């Protein structure tokens, strides 16, 4: 059996703010909470980490701090994508220099490149930096969908090790597994469908919900990885409401509201993400209670 370097629940960490600045004290506490709860890995400065509104200096500092605090206890996969290939290379190079175990590189947004352009983008990054990289495919945000056939080409490159698939398309997971080979890392980027993704041969999930319910999410993915599907289904039923509730408003505003309710950080987001709408807070708290967080 191949050794899969990234597996289980890998938390897409929020970036806490206080007074308009990154709240490093709260961030450290969130990391420690995740590790204590059994998270299998951490992703700083991804979409949930509001990387789009961080300065480059803030981005780099958050990665460095996450690596420092994790201290090798769990792998850190640093968000490092851009729609400019040279900028993506710079961010991946920084992730390596900071000591991250991997980089999460989103498909180029806004540019809408062809499949050949997507291939050459990731090929250039792979050639420039010797660090394991996951291709982040999230068409709902980027307006571009990387095809399984293109991923199969990328799987042959030395530093492209897998995918974060946020399409929610179960059929493509099985097809991709066959095309990309047994060493290809397959992580879901969609909490609600992660159970199905795991059953189709996935290895884990880069999870938003784990920010709020890390113990429950770790238990769920441990059950999946052990093939204990009845237990996994039981946890799915407890968590599905929270998976949905955390996207009742623009992410990560609901997640930050939930964390603030738990006393873990301020609810602050950066514009254009507005504070969590009052009308959905009751639903979020109800879902937290069902998941056993409250």
Active site residue 136: yes
Give the pLDDT of residue 157. Answer: 95
Backbone angles phi, psi at 67, to 5 degrees: -60, -45
Which residue reads 């992580």 in tokens?
187
Q: Are 89 and 125 in contact (CB under 8 A)?
A: yes
CA 26, 29, 31: angle at the middle one, nearest 5?
110
Report residues of the chain scoring pLDDT below 70.
1-3
Q: What is the pLDDT of residues 246-292, one digit of tens each?
A: 999 999 999 999 999 999 999 999 999 999 999 999 999 999 999 99
109 is catalytic: no
| Whole-Å CA distances, 256 to 39, 266, 284 | 19, 7, 11
> What's the CA gap between 189 and 57, in Å, rounded?
26
Joined together, the tokens standing for residue 162 give 């897998």
Domain ranges of the chain: 8-232
The distance between the two most distant Cα atoms of the chain, rounded to a whole number of Å, is 49
pLDDT at site 4: 72
DSSP per-residue string spanning 163-178:
EEE-S--HHHHHHHHH
Name the active-site residue from 119, 164, 197, 256. Answer: 164
Q: What is the CATH number of domain 8-232?
A: 3.20.20.70
Pairing relation of β-strands 41-43 and 102-106? unpaired
Specify the pLDDT at position 168: 87
Candidates 136, 244, 281, 282; catalytic one = 136
Residue-level pLDDT at 207:
98
**pTM score over 0.85:** yes
CA of residue 29 relative to chain centroid, distance: 19
């Amino acid at each position: 059996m191949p050794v899969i370097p990234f597996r289980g629940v890998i938390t897409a960490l929020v970036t806490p703010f206080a007074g308009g600045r990154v709240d490093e004290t709260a961030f450290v506490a969130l990391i420690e909470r995740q590790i204590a709860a059994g998270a299998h890995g951490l992703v700083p400065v991804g979409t949930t980490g509001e990387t789009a509104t961080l300065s480059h200096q803030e981005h780099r500092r958050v990665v460095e701090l996450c690596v420092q605090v994790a201290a090798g206890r769990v792998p850190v996969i640093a968000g490092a994508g851009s729609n400019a290939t040279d900028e993506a290379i710079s961010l991946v190079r920084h992730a390596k220099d900071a000591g991250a175990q991997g980089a999460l590189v989103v498909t180029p947004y806004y540019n809408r490149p062809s499949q050949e352009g997507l291939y050459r983008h990731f090929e250039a990054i792979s050639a420039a930096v010797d660090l394991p990289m996951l291709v982040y495919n999230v068409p709902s945000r980027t307006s571009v969908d990387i095809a399984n056939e293109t991923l199969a080409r990328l799987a042959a490159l030395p530093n492209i090790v897998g995918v974060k698939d946020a399409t929610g398309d179960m059929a493509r997971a099985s097809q991709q597994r066959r095309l990309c080979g047994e060493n290809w890392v397959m992580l879901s980027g969609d909490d609600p469908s992660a159970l199905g993704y795991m059953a189709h041969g996935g290895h884990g999930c880069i999870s938003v919900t784990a920010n709020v319910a890390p113990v429950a999410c770790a238990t769920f993915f441990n059950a999946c990885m052990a093939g204990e599907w009845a237990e996994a289904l039981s946890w799915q039923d407890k968590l599905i409401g929270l998976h949905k509730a955390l996207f009742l408003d623009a992410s990560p505003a609901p997640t930050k509201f939930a964390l603030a309710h738990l006393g873990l950080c301020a609810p602050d987001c950066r514009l254009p993400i507005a504070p969590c709408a009052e009308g959905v807070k009751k639903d979020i708290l109800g879902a937290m209670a069902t998941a056993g967080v409250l």
